[in-house]
Structure 1
Protein backbone atom coordinates (compact mmCIF):
# COMPACT_ATOMS: atom_id res chain seq x y z
CA UNK A 1 0.00 0.00 0.00
CA UNK A 2 2.83 2.43 0.82
CA UNK A 3 4.32 1.70 -2.60
CA UNK A 4 1.03 2.63 -4.30
CA UNK A 5 0.73 5.82 -2.27
CA UNK A 6 4.31 6.70 -3.23
CA UNK A 7 3.63 6.04 -6.90
CA UNK A 8 0.56 8.28 -6.90
CA UNK A 9 2.51 11.00 -5.10
CA UNK A 10 5.33 10.90 -7.66
CA UNK A 11 2.87 11.04 -10.56
CA UNK A 12 1.06 14.11 -9.27
CA UNK A 13 4.40 15.72 -8.38
CA UNK A 14 5.43 15.77 -12.03
CA UNK A 15 2.00 16.91 -13.18
CA UNK A 16 2.22 19.79 -10.71
CA UNK A 17 5.65 20.70 -12.04
CA UNK A 18 4.21 21.07 -15.54
CA UNK A 19 1.12 22.99 -14.43
CA UNK A 20 3.01 25.47 -12.25
CA UNK A 21 5.81 25.95 -14.76
CA UNK A 22 3.30 26.91 -17.46
CA UNK A 23 1.16 29.03 -15.14
CA UNK A 24 4.11 31.07 -13.87
CA UNK A 25 5.96 31.25 -17.19
CA UNK A 26 4.95 34.81 -18.24
CA UNK A 27 5.97 36.21 -14.83
CA UNK A 28 9.16 34.15 -14.76
CA UNK A 29 10.05 35.38 -18.24
CA UNK A 30 9.51 39.00 -17.24
CA UNK A 31 11.21 38.85 -13.85
CA UNK A 32 13.57 36.63 -11.90
CA UNK A 33 11.21 37.16 -8.95
CA UNK A 34 8.55 35.30 -10.92
CA UNK A 35 10.88 32.34 -11.40
CA UNK A 36 11.62 32.25 -7.67
CA UNK A 37 7.89 32.47 -6.90
CA UNK A 38 7.19 29.51 -9.19
CA UNK A 39 9.92 27.39 -7.60
CA UNK A 40 8.77 28.24 -4.08
CA UNK A 41 5.17 27.41 -4.98
CA UNK A 42 6.25 24.04 -6.35
CA UNK A 43 8.34 23.22 -3.27
CA UNK A 44 5.43 24.06 -0.97
CA UNK A 45 3.09 21.88 -3.01
CA UNK A 46 5.44 18.89 -2.96
CA UNK A 47 6.12 19.20 0.77
CA UNK A 48 2.39 19.48 1.55
CA UNK A 49 1.28 16.57 -0.65
CA UNK A 50 4.19 14.43 0.55
CA UNK A 51 2.91 14.65 4.12
CA UNK A 52 -0.70 13.60 3.59
CA UNK A 53 -0.15 11.24 0.65
CA UNK A 54 2.80 9.23 1.97
CA UNK A 55 3.05 10.09 5.67
CA UNK A 56 6.47 11.68 5.24
CA UNK A 57 6.49 14.96 7.15
CA UNK A 58 9.19 17.61 6.73
CA UNK A 59 10.91 19.89 9.19
CA UNK A 60 13.49 22.66 8.89
CA UNK A 61 15.67 23.29 11.93
CA UNK A 62 18.14 26.02 12.73
CA UNK A 63 18.06 29.50 11.20
CA UNK A 64 17.81 29.66 7.39
CA UNK A 65 19.89 32.60 6.14
CA UNK A 66 18.23 35.54 4.39
CA UNK A 67 21.37 37.52 3.53
CA UNK A 68 24.11 36.73 1.02
CA UNK A 69 25.91 33.58 2.12
CA UNK A 70 27.21 30.33 0.72
CA UNK A 71 25.29 27.24 1.83
CA UNK A 72 27.21 23.95 1.85
CA UNK A 73 24.76 21.08 2.24
CA UNK A 74 24.58 17.34 2.58
CA UNK A 75 22.77 15.94 -0.47
CA UNK A 76 20.84 12.68 -0.23
CA UNK A 77 17.85 13.09 -2.53
CA UNK A 78 15.65 15.54 -4.43
CA UNK A 79 13.81 16.29 -1.19
CA UNK A 80 16.70 18.13 0.48
CA UNK A 81 16.91 20.40 -2.57
CA UNK A 82 13.29 21.45 -2.09
CA UNK A 83 13.50 21.82 1.68
CA UNK A 84 16.60 24.02 1.53
CA UNK A 85 15.34 26.14 -1.35
CA UNK A 86 11.90 26.61 0.20
CA UNK A 87 13.46 27.85 3.46
CA UNK A 88 15.43 30.72 1.92
CA UNK A 89 14.35 33.73 -0.17
CA UNK A 90 16.62 33.62 -3.24
CA UNK A 91 18.47 30.34 -3.47
CA UNK A 92 20.59 29.34 -6.46
CA UNK A 93 22.48 26.11 -6.87
CA UNK A 94 25.78 24.93 -8.24
CA UNK A 95 24.36 22.19 -10.48
CA UNK A 96 25.66 19.63 -12.93
CA UNK A 97 25.59 20.90 -16.50
CA UNK A 98 23.37 18.06 -17.77
CA UNK A 99 20.42 19.51 -15.84
CA UNK A 100 20.43 22.55 -18.13
CA UNK A 101 18.77 20.36 -20.75
CA UNK A 102 16.05 18.91 -18.51
CA UNK A 103 12.65 20.19 -19.70
CA UNK A 104 11.26 22.95 -17.45
CA UNK A 105 13.63 22.15 -14.59
CA UNK A 106 16.68 23.33 -16.52
CA UNK A 107 15.06 26.52 -17.80
CA UNK A 108 13.80 27.57 -14.38
CA UNK A 109 17.12 26.68 -12.76
CA UNK A 110 18.97 29.00 -15.10
CA UNK A 111 16.36 31.71 -14.61
CA UNK A 112 16.85 31.77 -10.81
CA UNK A 113 20.62 32.04 -11.29
CA UNK A 114 21.89 28.48 -10.89
CA UNK A 115 25.45 27.87 -12.08
CA UNK A 116 26.00 24.79 -14.28
CA UNK A 117 29.29 22.93 -13.83
CA UNK A 118 30.99 20.32 -15.99
CA UNK A 119 32.02 17.68 -13.47
CA UNK A 120 34.24 15.80 -15.89
CA UNK A 121 37.16 18.25 -15.94
CA UNK A 122 38.05 19.17 -12.41
CA UNK A 123 40.49 22.07 -12.84
CA UNK A 124 38.64 23.67 -15.73
CA UNK A 125 35.30 23.11 -14.04
CA UNK A 126 36.39 24.89 -10.86
CA UNK A 127 37.82 27.83 -12.82
CA UNK A 128 34.63 28.18 -14.86
CA UNK A 129 32.45 27.84 -11.77
CA UNK A 130 34.35 30.62 -10.01
CA UNK A 131 34.04 32.87 -13.08
CA UNK A 132 30.31 32.20 -13.45
CA UNK A 133 29.63 32.79 -9.77
CA UNK A 134 31.60 36.03 -9.88
CA UNK A 135 29.65 37.18 -12.94
CA UNK A 136 26.33 36.44 -11.24
CA UNK A 137 27.06 38.06 -7.89
CA UNK A 138 25.11 41.20 -8.77
CA UNK A 139 21.93 39.14 -8.55
CA UNK A 140 22.51 38.46 -4.85
CA UNK A 141 20.92 35.59 -2.99
CA UNK A 142 22.10 32.43 -1.29
CA UNK A 143 24.48 30.21 -3.28
CA UNK A 144 23.98 26.50 -2.53
CA UNK A 145 26.69 23.95 -3.20
CA UNK A 146 26.87 20.25 -2.43
CA UNK A 147 30.47 19.65 -1.30
CA UNK A 148 30.38 15.95 -2.18
CA UNK A 149 29.26 16.81 -5.69
CA UNK A 150 26.36 14.37 -5.93
CA UNK A 151 23.66 12.59 -3.95
CA UNK A 152 25.14 10.32 -1.30
CA UNK A 153 23.03 7.55 0.24
CA UNK A 154 22.89 7.26 4.04
CA UNK A 155 25.88 5.35 5.37
CA UNK A 156 27.98 5.86 2.22
CA UNK A 157 31.19 7.85 2.56
CA UNK A 158 32.30 10.15 -0.22
CA UNK A 159 35.03 12.83 -0.11
CA UNK A 160 34.32 16.55 0.10
CA UNK A 161 35.56 18.38 -3.01
CA UNK A 162 37.92 21.32 -3.02
CA UNK A 163 35.65 23.49 -5.19
CA UNK A 164 33.67 24.38 -2.07
CA UNK A 165 36.80 25.82 -0.45
CA UNK A 166 37.64 27.74 -3.62
CA UNK A 167 34.20 29.38 -3.54
CA UNK A 168 34.51 30.10 0.19
CA UNK A 169 37.81 31.91 -0.46
CA UNK A 170 36.54 33.85 -3.48
CA UNK A 171 33.22 34.98 -2.05
CA UNK A 172 34.54 36.06 1.35
CA UNK A 173 31.10 35.30 2.79
CA UNK A 174 29.98 33.19 5.74
CA UNK A 175 29.35 29.55 4.88
CA UNK A 176 26.24 27.95 6.38
CA UNK A 177 26.57 24.15 6.68
CA UNK A 178 23.38 22.11 6.28
CA UNK A 179 22.81 18.56 7.54
CA UNK A 180 19.99 16.20 6.62
CA UNK A 181 18.46 12.75 7.03
CA UNK A 182 16.08 12.81 4.04
CA UNK A 183 17.76 9.87 2.31
CA UNK A 184 16.47 7.55 5.03
CA UNK A 185 12.93 8.17 3.76
CA UNK A 186 13.34 9.40 0.15
CA UNK A 187 16.18 7.38 -1.43
CA UNK A 188 18.40 8.33 -4.35
CA UNK A 189 16.65 5.80 -6.58
CA UNK A 190 13.34 3.98 -6.47
CA UNK A 191 9.71 4.85 -5.88
CA UNK A 192 9.01 4.03 -2.23
CA UNK A 193 8.68 7.02 0.10
CA UNK A 194 8.73 5.94 3.73
CA UNK A 195 6.63 7.66 6.43
CA UNK A 196 8.51 9.54 9.13
CA UNK A 197 10.12 12.93 9.74
CA UNK A 198 12.56 14.23 7.13
CA UNK A 199 14.77 17.02 8.45
CA UNK A 200 17.20 19.56 7.09
CA UNK A 201 19.12 21.51 9.72
CA UNK A 202 20.90 24.81 9.14
CA UNK A 203 23.98 24.81 11.36
CA UNK A 204 25.84 27.84 12.76
CA UNK A 205 27.71 29.71 10.02
CA UNK A 206 31.43 29.39 9.47
CA UNK A 207 32.92 32.89 9.31
CA UNK A 208 35.11 33.83 6.33
CA UNK A 209 38.87 33.88 6.70
CA UNK A 210 39.84 30.29 7.47
CA UNK A 211 42.58 28.68 5.41
CA UNK A 212 41.48 26.03 2.93
CA UNK A 213 42.41 22.95 4.95
CA UNK A 214 40.88 24.24 8.18
CA UNK A 215 37.68 25.21 6.43
CA UNK A 216 37.26 21.85 4.69
CA UNK A 217 37.98 19.89 7.88
CA UNK A 218 35.51 21.93 9.90
CA UNK A 219 32.80 21.80 7.22
CA UNK A 220 33.00 18.03 6.80
CA UNK A 221 33.08 17.37 10.54
CA UNK A 222 30.08 19.57 11.26
CA UNK A 223 27.91 18.37 8.37
CA UNK A 224 28.67 14.68 8.81
CA UNK A 225 28.31 14.74 12.60
CA UNK A 226 24.96 16.52 12.44
CA UNK A 227 23.71 14.33 9.59
CA UNK A 228 24.64 11.18 11.51
CA UNK A 229 22.71 12.54 14.49
CA UNK A 230 19.63 13.24 12.37
CA UNK A 231 19.79 9.83 10.70
CA UNK A 232 20.13 8.13 14.08
CA UNK A 233 17.07 10.06 15.21
CA UNK A 234 15.27 8.53 12.21
CA UNK A 235 16.42 5.03 13.16
CA UNK A 236 19.40 4.74 10.80
CA UNK A 237 22.91 4.34 12.20
CA UNK A 238 25.86 5.01 9.90
CA UNK A 239 29.06 3.03 10.27
CA UNK A 240 32.05 5.36 10.57
Structure 2
Protein backbone atom coordinates (compact mmCIF):
# COMPACT_ATOMS: atom_id res chain seq x y z
CA UNK A 1 0.00 0.00 0.00
CA UNK A 2 1.42 3.37 -1.03
CA UNK A 3 1.09 5.96 1.73
CA UNK A 4 -0.62 9.25 0.98
CA UNK A 5 2.51 11.14 2.05
CA UNK A 6 4.62 9.23 -0.49
CA UNK A 7 2.03 9.79 -3.24
CA UNK A 8 1.99 13.50 -2.44
CA UNK A 9 5.79 13.68 -2.52
CA UNK A 10 5.96 11.90 -5.87
CA UNK A 11 3.19 14.12 -7.23
CA UNK A 12 4.98 17.28 -6.10
CA UNK A 13 8.26 16.26 -7.73
CA UNK A 14 6.42 15.29 -10.91
CA UNK A 15 4.60 18.63 -11.06
CA UNK A 16 7.80 20.64 -10.54
CA UNK A 17 9.69 18.78 -13.26
CA UNK A 18 6.73 18.91 -15.65
CA UNK A 19 6.51 22.68 -15.58
CA UNK A 20 10.30 22.98 -15.69
CA UNK A 21 10.34 20.86 -18.85
CA UNK A 22 7.49 22.96 -20.26
CA UNK A 23 9.49 26.14 -19.72
CA UNK A 24 12.71 24.73 -21.19
CA UNK A 25 10.96 23.25 -24.24
CA UNK A 26 9.00 26.45 -24.70
CA UNK A 27 12.18 28.49 -24.88
CA UNK A 28 14.17 26.02 -27.01
CA UNK A 29 11.42 25.61 -29.61
CA UNK A 30 10.27 29.25 -29.60
CA UNK A 31 12.19 30.40 -32.72
CA UNK A 32 10.78 27.50 -34.77
CA UNK A 33 7.32 28.00 -33.27
CA UNK A 34 7.32 31.68 -34.21
CA UNK A 35 8.48 30.84 -37.72
CA UNK A 36 6.01 28.03 -38.34
CA UNK A 37 2.95 26.48 -36.69
CA UNK A 38 4.64 23.12 -37.36
CA UNK A 39 7.33 24.07 -34.86
CA UNK A 40 4.73 24.90 -32.23
CA UNK A 41 2.84 21.66 -32.84
CA UNK A 42 6.04 19.59 -32.71
CA UNK A 43 6.99 21.12 -29.37
CA UNK A 44 3.52 20.53 -27.92
CA UNK A 45 3.47 16.92 -29.12
CA UNK A 46 6.88 16.20 -27.58
CA UNK A 47 5.72 17.74 -24.32
CA UNK A 48 2.65 15.48 -24.32
CA UNK A 49 4.92 12.46 -24.88
CA UNK A 50 7.08 13.49 -21.96
CA UNK A 51 4.13 14.15 -19.67
CA UNK A 52 2.63 10.70 -20.26
CA UNK A 53 6.02 8.99 -19.93
CA UNK A 54 7.06 10.79 -16.75
CA UNK A 55 3.69 10.48 -14.99
CA UNK A 56 3.89 6.72 -15.56
CA UNK A 57 7.25 6.14 -13.91
CA UNK A 58 6.98 8.91 -11.31
CA UNK A 59 3.35 8.54 -10.22
CA UNK A 60 2.31 5.10 -11.43
CA UNK A 61 -0.30 6.42 -13.88
CA UNK A 62 -0.69 4.48 -17.10
CA UNK A 63 -2.69 5.93 -20.00
CA UNK A 64 -4.63 4.52 -22.93
CA UNK A 65 -6.37 5.99 -25.97
CA UNK A 66 -9.26 3.88 -27.27
CA UNK A 67 -11.52 4.06 -30.29
CA UNK A 68 -11.05 5.35 -33.81
CA UNK A 69 -8.97 8.52 -33.71
CA UNK A 70 -10.15 11.04 -36.33
CA UNK A 71 -7.64 12.36 -38.84
CA UNK A 72 -10.00 14.43 -41.01
CA UNK A 73 -11.73 17.73 -40.30
CA UNK A 74 -14.21 17.10 -37.50
CA UNK A 75 -15.48 18.68 -34.33
CA UNK A 76 -14.41 16.82 -31.20
CA UNK A 77 -16.70 17.24 -28.18
CA UNK A 78 -14.86 15.90 -25.16
CA UNK A 79 -15.47 15.22 -21.50
CA UNK A 80 -12.97 17.33 -19.56
CA UNK A 81 -11.76 16.18 -16.15
CA UNK A 82 -8.15 17.35 -15.92
CA UNK A 83 -5.07 18.55 -17.76
CA UNK A 84 -4.32 14.91 -18.62
CA UNK A 85 -7.20 14.54 -21.08
CA UNK A 86 -5.98 17.66 -22.92
CA UNK A 87 -2.53 16.11 -23.29
CA UNK A 88 -3.87 12.75 -24.44
CA UNK A 89 -6.28 14.15 -27.03
CA UNK A 90 -3.70 16.56 -28.43
CA UNK A 91 -1.14 13.79 -28.79
CA UNK A 92 -3.63 11.42 -30.41
CA UNK A 93 -5.00 13.57 -33.24
CA UNK A 94 -2.84 15.06 -36.00
CA UNK A 95 -3.99 18.70 -35.94
CA UNK A 96 -5.77 19.53 -32.70
CA UNK A 97 -6.89 23.05 -31.90
CA UNK A 98 -8.96 23.96 -28.89
CA UNK A 99 -11.65 26.46 -28.12
CA UNK A 100 -10.20 28.07 -25.01
CA UNK A 101 -10.71 30.94 -22.62
CA UNK A 102 -9.05 34.12 -23.88
CA UNK A 103 -7.26 34.57 -20.53
CA UNK A 104 -5.09 31.55 -21.35
CA UNK A 105 -3.47 33.48 -24.20
CA UNK A 106 -1.68 35.53 -21.54
CA UNK A 107 -0.30 32.46 -19.75
CA UNK A 108 3.48 32.20 -20.24
CA UNK A 109 4.51 29.53 -22.79
CA UNK A 110 1.02 27.98 -23.02
CA UNK A 111 -0.56 31.11 -24.47
CA UNK A 112 2.01 31.67 -27.20
CA UNK A 113 1.95 28.08 -28.36
CA UNK A 114 -1.85 27.85 -28.23
CA UNK A 115 -2.03 30.84 -30.56
CA UNK A 116 0.46 29.33 -32.99
CA UNK A 117 -1.34 25.98 -33.31
CA UNK A 118 -4.61 27.73 -34.13
CA UNK A 119 -6.58 27.58 -30.88
CA UNK A 120 -9.67 29.79 -30.82
CA UNK A 121 -9.78 32.21 -27.86
CA UNK A 122 -13.26 32.96 -26.56
CA UNK A 123 -14.27 35.91 -24.41
CA UNK A 124 -16.40 35.10 -21.41
CA UNK A 125 -19.96 36.00 -22.30
CA UNK A 126 -19.10 36.39 -25.99
CA UNK A 127 -18.79 32.76 -27.06
CA UNK A 128 -21.30 33.14 -29.90
CA UNK A 129 -19.32 35.96 -31.50
CA UNK A 130 -16.07 34.00 -31.28
CA UNK A 131 -17.63 30.90 -32.83
CA UNK A 132 -19.14 32.95 -35.64
CA UNK A 133 -15.72 34.45 -36.43
CA UNK A 134 -14.06 31.05 -36.32
CA UNK A 135 -16.63 29.56 -38.70
CA UNK A 136 -16.17 32.50 -41.05
CA UNK A 137 -12.40 31.95 -41.03
CA UNK A 138 -12.84 28.26 -41.86
CA UNK A 139 -15.22 29.02 -44.73
CA UNK A 140 -12.85 31.60 -46.24
CA UNK A 141 -9.93 29.19 -46.03
CA UNK A 142 -7.94 31.41 -43.69
CA UNK A 143 -7.84 28.88 -40.87
CA UNK A 144 -5.71 25.77 -41.11
CA UNK A 145 -7.70 22.52 -41.29
CA UNK A 146 -7.72 20.24 -38.30
CA UNK A 147 -9.72 18.82 -35.45
CA UNK A 148 -11.49 21.51 -33.47
CA UNK A 149 -11.95 20.50 -29.83
CA UNK A 150 -14.66 21.87 -27.59
CA UNK A 151 -15.56 20.96 -24.03
CA UNK A 152 -19.38 20.98 -24.00
CA UNK A 153 -19.60 21.46 -20.23
CA UNK A 154 -17.33 24.48 -20.43
CA UNK A 155 -14.70 23.50 -17.86
CA UNK A 156 -13.12 20.63 -15.93
CA UNK A 157 -15.70 18.54 -14.10
CA UNK A 158 -14.75 16.12 -11.32
CA UNK A 159 -15.83 12.46 -11.72
CA UNK A 160 -19.41 11.82 -10.66
CA UNK A 161 -20.39 15.52 -10.56
CA UNK A 162 -23.30 16.44 -12.88
CA UNK A 163 -22.96 19.55 -15.02
CA UNK A 164 -25.10 20.76 -17.94
CA UNK A 165 -23.95 20.63 -21.55
CA UNK A 166 -23.87 24.16 -22.90
CA UNK A 167 -25.46 25.33 -26.12
CA UNK A 168 -22.15 26.45 -27.65
CA UNK A 169 -21.32 22.95 -28.90
CA UNK A 170 -24.69 22.72 -30.64
CA UNK A 171 -24.19 26.10 -32.32
CA UNK A 172 -20.75 25.04 -33.49
CA UNK A 173 -22.06 21.71 -34.80
CA UNK A 174 -24.84 23.44 -36.73
CA UNK A 175 -22.55 26.05 -38.28
CA UNK A 176 -19.54 23.88 -39.11
CA UNK A 177 -21.58 21.12 -40.77
CA UNK A 178 -18.92 18.58 -39.83
CA UNK A 179 -19.18 15.21 -38.12
CA UNK A 180 -18.80 15.34 -34.36
CA UNK A 181 -16.62 12.82 -32.53
CA UNK A 182 -17.65 12.51 -28.86
CA UNK A 183 -14.89 11.68 -26.37
CA UNK A 184 -15.32 10.05 -22.96
CA UNK A 185 -12.75 9.81 -20.17
CA UNK A 186 -12.04 8.76 -16.61
CA UNK A 187 -8.69 10.52 -16.12
CA UNK A 188 -10.04 12.57 -13.22
CA UNK A 189 -9.68 9.44 -11.08
CA UNK A 190 -5.87 9.51 -11.36
CA UNK A 191 -5.11 13.16 -12.21
CA UNK A 192 -7.73 15.32 -10.43
CA UNK A 193 -9.00 18.60 -11.85
CA UNK A 194 -7.16 20.62 -9.20
CA UNK A 195 -4.40 20.15 -6.67
CA UNK A 196 -1.04 18.39 -6.89
CA UNK A 197 -1.88 14.87 -5.71
CA UNK A 198 -1.84 12.21 -8.44
CA UNK A 199 -3.12 8.68 -7.76
CA UNK A 200 -1.69 5.49 -9.29
CA UNK A 201 -4.09 3.94 -11.79
CA UNK A 202 -5.14 3.72 -15.42
CA UNK A 203 -6.48 6.76 -17.25
CA UNK A 204 -8.46 6.27 -20.45
CA UNK A 205 -9.56 8.63 -23.21
CA UNK A 206 -12.06 6.98 -25.56
CA UNK A 207 -13.07 8.28 -28.99
CA UNK A 208 -16.69 7.26 -29.57
CA UNK A 209 -18.58 6.66 -32.85
CA UNK A 210 -19.25 9.78 -34.86
CA UNK A 211 -22.41 11.82 -34.74
CA UNK A 212 -23.04 12.53 -38.45
CA UNK A 213 -23.12 16.11 -39.69
CA UNK A 214 -26.67 15.48 -40.96
CA UNK A 215 -27.99 14.98 -37.41
CA UNK A 216 -30.71 17.57 -36.61
CA UNK A 217 -29.16 20.27 -34.38
CA UNK A 218 -32.20 20.21 -32.09
CA UNK A 219 -31.43 16.60 -31.12
CA UNK A 220 -27.65 16.90 -31.17
CA UNK A 221 -27.01 18.17 -27.63
CA UNK A 222 -29.14 15.52 -25.91
CA UNK A 223 -27.52 12.77 -27.99
CA UNK A 224 -24.03 14.09 -27.29
CA UNK A 225 -24.64 14.25 -23.54
CA UNK A 226 -26.16 10.78 -23.42
CA UNK A 227 -23.31 9.16 -25.35
CA UNK A 228 -20.45 10.92 -23.56
CA UNK A 229 -21.88 10.52 -20.06
CA UNK A 230 -22.80 6.86 -20.56
CA UNK A 231 -19.34 6.00 -21.86
CA UNK A 232 -17.59 8.08 -19.19
CA UNK A 233 -19.62 6.40 -16.44
CA UNK A 234 -18.56 3.01 -17.80
CA UNK A 235 -14.90 4.09 -17.74
CA UNK A 236 -15.28 5.41 -14.20
CA UNK A 237 -16.74 2.08 -13.08
CA UNK A 238 -13.88 0.28 -14.83
CA UNK A 239 -11.48 2.47 -12.86
CA UNK A 240 -13.08 1.53 -9.55
CA UNK A 241 -15.15 4.67 -9.00
CA UNK A 242 -18.08 4.21 -6.66
CA UNK A 243 -20.89 6.68 -7.09
CA UNK A 244 -22.53 7.73 -3.82
CA UNK A 245 -26.32 7.79 -4.06
CA UNK A 246 -28.02 10.32 -1.80
CA UNK A 247 -31.63 9.69 -0.88
CA UNK A 248 -33.95 12.62 -1.35
Please indicate the TM-score interval, normalised by the length of the shorter structure.
over 0.9
**Structure 1 alignment gaps of length 5 or more:** none
Q: Which residue of 1 aligns with 2:3?
A: none
Distance 1:239 1:126 in 2: 36
Q: Which residue of 2 aligns with 1:135?
A: 137
What is the aligned length?
237
Structure 1 range deviating more: 128-137 or 12-21? 128-137
Instruction: Please show how residues 32-71 of structure 1 align to structure 2 within 5 Å.
Output: 32-71=37-76
Q: Which residue of 1 aligns with 2:127?
A: 125
Deviations 1:196-218 (A, max 9, x none): 10000000111002222211111
Q: Retained in 1: the 8 A contact 2:73–2:147? A: yes
Distance apart, 1:129 and its partner CA:
2.1
Q: Which residue of 1 aligns with 2:107?
A: 102
Structure 2 SS opposite 1:75: coil
Distance 2:100 2:132 in 1: 13
Q: Retained in 1: the 8 A contact 2:121–2:130? A: no
Distance apart, 1:111 and its partner CA:
0.6
Distance 2:200 2:64 in 1: 13
Structure 1 consecutive aligned stretches of length 4 or more whose deviation exceeds 6 Å: none
Deviations 1:124-158 (A, max 9, x none): 32122221243155300100000000000011111
Q: Give the structure with higher Rg (CA).
A: 2
Deviations 1:210-233 (A, max 9, x none): 222211111000000000000010
C-alpha change, 1:13 and 1:133, in structure 2 (3 Å) is: farther
**1:4 aligned to 6, 9, 16, which one?**
9
Q: Which residue of 2 aligns with 1:170?
A: 175
Q: Retained in 1: the 8 A contact 2:135–2:175? A: no
TM-score (norm 2): 0.93
Q: Retained in 2: the 8 A contact 1:116–1:129? A: no
Structure 1 SS opposite 2:72: coil
Q: CA RMSD in A?
A: 1.2
Deviations 1:156-197 (A, max 9, x none): 111001110111111111100000000011111111100010
**Structure 2 alignment gaps of length 5 or more:** 1-5
Distance 1:217 1:106 in 2: 33
Distance 2:84 2:40 in 1: 19
The reply on whether 1:187 has 2:192 as its aligned counterpart is yes
Distance 2:14 2:89 in 1: 20
**2:164 aligned to 150, 159, 167, which one?**
159
Distance 2:80 2:54 in 1: 22
**1:89 aligned to 79, 88, 94, which one?**
94
Distance apart, 1:65 and its partner CA:
0.7
Deviations 1:63-116 (A, max 9, x none): 111111000000000000000000011100000111011001011001100001
